[in-house]
Amino acid sequence: MSVQIPYIDEPHPVTGVTNAKLGVWLFLASEVMLFGALFSALITLRLGVNDWPHGYDILNVPLATLNTVVLIFSSVTVVMAWASLKMQNLSRFRTYMVLTILCSFIFLAVKAVEYGHKFEHGISPATSNFYAIYFVITGLHGLHIIGGIIVNAYLLGPGSRMWKTQPERFTGRIECAGLYWHFVDLVWIFLFPILYLL
């Protein structure tokens, strides 16, 4: 007899979620604390000095606005990818997943252009605490985007073989990946006004 783990593809009758979904929610709770700590650090640093610069004076607001739109769009496509699976349509799932990943790459490209401009002017984390916290928070967010790309690409490619054998479980995985992607999007929604607009 081998080990049987229940509630992998069906929700637990009491909690109403699968193991993976509960796990992802817990993971996101810890992520909230991680970014929460960094935002708190930003607030503390900002309140501690008189000459904190305004983001809109020294950062590229139009590019960041473009990135905001791109990320929100990708949040829609990742939901559509999941909905397509719910409607048993694997090819449409693939289309939406490709769009999601494409958006992630556009976001990273735009971010690279922004970073490039700063580096050209010799700006680094050592320049000032504003730039330091800017690079740390956007850099960490960028790493989360890359993580999302890896997960989504896996689920689009080799991971999608699971669809044939365990469609319920595969749909659950897409939902979990989607939850994570929404979180990454949500971090940007907070990050954009706090760093760029205030």
Partner 1 sequence: MTHAEHTHSGHHEMPFWRKYIFSIDHKVIGLQYGITATFFLLFGFFLMILMRWQLAYPGVEIPFIGKALTETGALTPDLYNALGAMHGTIMIFLGVVPMAVGAFGNYLVPLQVGAQDMAFPKLNMMSYWVYFVGGVVMMSSFLMPGGAAASGWTSYPPLSVTANNAQTVWLLAMVFLITSSLLGSINTIVTAVQLRAKGLSFMRWPVHVWAQVATAFLLLLAFPPLEGAAVLQLVDRVFGSSFFLPSGLYIDGAKASVAGGGNPLLWQHLFWFLAHPEVYVLILPAVGVISEIISTNSRKPIYGYKTMVYSILFLGFMSFVVWAHHMFMTGMGVTLSSFFQATTMIISIPSVIILTTLLLTLWGASIRFTVPMLFALAFLPMFAIGGLTGLPLGLTASDIHLHDTYYVIGHFHYVVAPGTLFALMGGVYFWYPKITGRQMNQFLGKLHFWLSFVAINFVFMPMFLMGSKGVSRRLYDQTGYSHGAATQSWNVIMSTAAFVLLLAQIPFLYNMFTSWKWGKKVENDNPWEATTLEWAASSPPPHENFPTPVEVYREPYSYSPTSRKVRPQFSQQEA
Which positions touch partner 1 (CB under 8 A)?
A: 1-7, 12, 15, 19, 22-23, 26-27, 29-31, 33-38, 40-41, 44-45, 48-49, 124-129, 132-133, 135-136, 140
CB atoms within 10 A of CB 162: 16
Sign of CA dihedral 189, 192, 195, 198: negative
Smallest distance, partner 1 to C-beta of residue 8, A: 9
| Contact between residue 189 and residue 68 where contact means Cβ atoms under 8 Å apart | yes
Smallest distance, partner 1 to C-beta of residue 74, A: 25
96: CB partners within 8 A, 6+ apart? 77, 78, 80, 81, 84
68 versus 141: smaller Cβ distance to partner 1: 141
Smallest distance, partner 1 to C-beta of residue 1, A: 5
37 versus 150: smaller Cβ distance to partner 1: 37
Token pair recorded at residue 150: 């890896």
| Nearest Cα to Cα of residue 84 among 186, 182, 156, 8 | 156
60 versus 129: smaller Cβ distance to partner 1: 129
Instruction: Classify the phi-psi angles of 18: left when phi > 0, otherwise alpha if psi is within -120 to 50, otherwise beta.
Output: beta
95 versus 166: smaller Cβ distance to partner 1: 166
Smallest distance, partner 1 to C-beta of residue 41, A: 6
